[in-house]
Structure 1
C-alpha cells in the first residue's frame, strides 16, 4: 500500500465536503482562517512520514493541547492525576457547570474544560511560574520543531472571553480540586490553547501514544506503556466532544480534536495521524477532517474496532 498515493486520493475525495461546516467564530483569529485549508500527516512508528496538503502551516490547536498537558502531567505527577479527575464520558457540554457542581467539583474526564484545568493545576504544582514555558518546551521537543509558539493575540482574546471557564476555575477552587489561584490557572490555560502547530508537528508530537510511550524521534520513552494505553482509552471514550460515539462508529480510532479544526488520531503500534481543516460540524469537530479519517481507515483497514 502506497500511503503517499492514498493521502492524495483522500485529499481529492473530501473536496465535496467543503462548505458544509462552519469555521469557529468566537475567536477572531480562527474566524479569519480560510475555510478551504486542508492538511493530513501520518507519522509511522518506523520513522516514515507521509503528508498531503497544508501540512506545514501552523494553526491554533486549541483543545488538542489538553492531550499534550495530560501527557506532561502523567509524566511528572503519575497517578496523582486520577485522584483528582475522573475517567468517564461526561454526556454534557465540555464547559458544563451543572455537572461539576452536582459531582462536588470532580471533573468527569481530563478532556472537558474542568478536567483540563485540573490537569494543568497538577502541572503547575511542579512547574510554578514557569508552567507556560515548560508546556511550550515540551511541545517543541516532542515535535522537533523549535519554531512552535503561542499566539499572544489568540491567548488574550480567549482570556477576555473566558467568563464560563473562570466560573469553572472558581468552582474547582471552592471544592479544593485545584490548589492554585484561578486567575493564574486560567491565564496559563488560555496560553496552552493558543499553541500553534502544524499537522506534521502534531503527528510527530503524539507518536509516542502509538508506540507504547516511546518517541521514535527522540529515541526514548516519554510515557510508560501503561500510561500510553490509558490515554488512548480516554481519547476513545472522551476525546471528541459530544460526538465521541459517532466518531467511534465512523472512524474507530482514539482521537482528540480542537475547534481550530485539528484532529489527532492514534493507531496503536502503527502510526499517529494529524488532520486539519477549519470548518467544524455541530459538535465542534473538523467536518472534513473527520471524513478524511473515515476514508483513511476504510482504505487502510487501520482501525482498532
Structure 2
C-alpha cells in the first residue's frame, strides 16, 4: 500500500487546480481522472481569463501538462469507493491522509426530444458562458416544466444579450406579475408545449405542438443539477440542496474530506471552480501542516 498526502477525485478544472496547488506546496498527490468531464460536449470554454476560448479537451490537456513537474500521480480511472482507514482514508490499494472531492455535477435537461443532440453547441444553459457569441441575434429560452420561476429568471437574464428573446414555457402558465416583468424586458412568451428541437449548422428549429417553428440562433435551456457521484453521501458528508456543505476552506462535515468547485458550489463557472479549488487546497495544506507540527 502506497501512502500519499492527498487523493483528488475528479480531473476537470477544479480537480486539476487542486492538484496543481497542492503539488506546488510539495504535497504528494494522487489524482483520479475518469476522462468524462461535465462540459465534454461543449465546443469551447468561454469567460476564462488567460485562456482564449479553448475546447474543454485542450484546456484540461494543458492542466495535465502543468502537473508533470510536480509530485502528482495521475490515475485514469473512476473512484467508486473511499473507506476511512484509521486517521486517513483508503482509496483502492492506496492510503491517503485527506480526500478532495472534485466529482462535479451532471445536468438534467428538459424532457424535449432533440435537446440532448446538440447540448453544449447550439443548446446551452448559461448566458454568461455563451451569450456573447450569439449577442443581438434571435434566441429562445426553453423552460423546464414545473419550474416557471427559474424559467422566467433565465429569460430575463438572457434579455441583456439580445432584444429578440422568446421564452417557451413548455406548457407552464405564468402569473400576471411574471408576464409584466417579461414584457418590460422585451421578452415574448409562448406557453405551448414544445414538441421537438432540431439543431442545424447555425440555428435551432424549435417545433411547437401547434405546428409553428421558431428559428433561434441558439437555444438556452433550464437544467436541474445533481451530484455526479455519491461518494460524499456515502462518506457521511452533509448535503444541502444538492451541494456538499463546506466551510470557507472547502472542509466538509467529515474531517479530512474536502469538496471543491461545483461539487460544493453548483453555480460556479469554470474559472470560479478553479479559484475555489485553489483556495481549498491552500487550506488543506495548512491543515496537514498543523497536524505535522
Flag whether TM exceeds 0.5 (same fold). Answer: no
User: Higher relative contact order at CA 8 Å, sep ≥6: structure 1 or structure 2?
Assistant: 1
Task: Name which one, 1 or 2, has greater alpha-carbon Rg.
Answer: 2
TM-score by length of 1: 0.25
TM-score by length of 2: 0.25
Higher strand share: 2
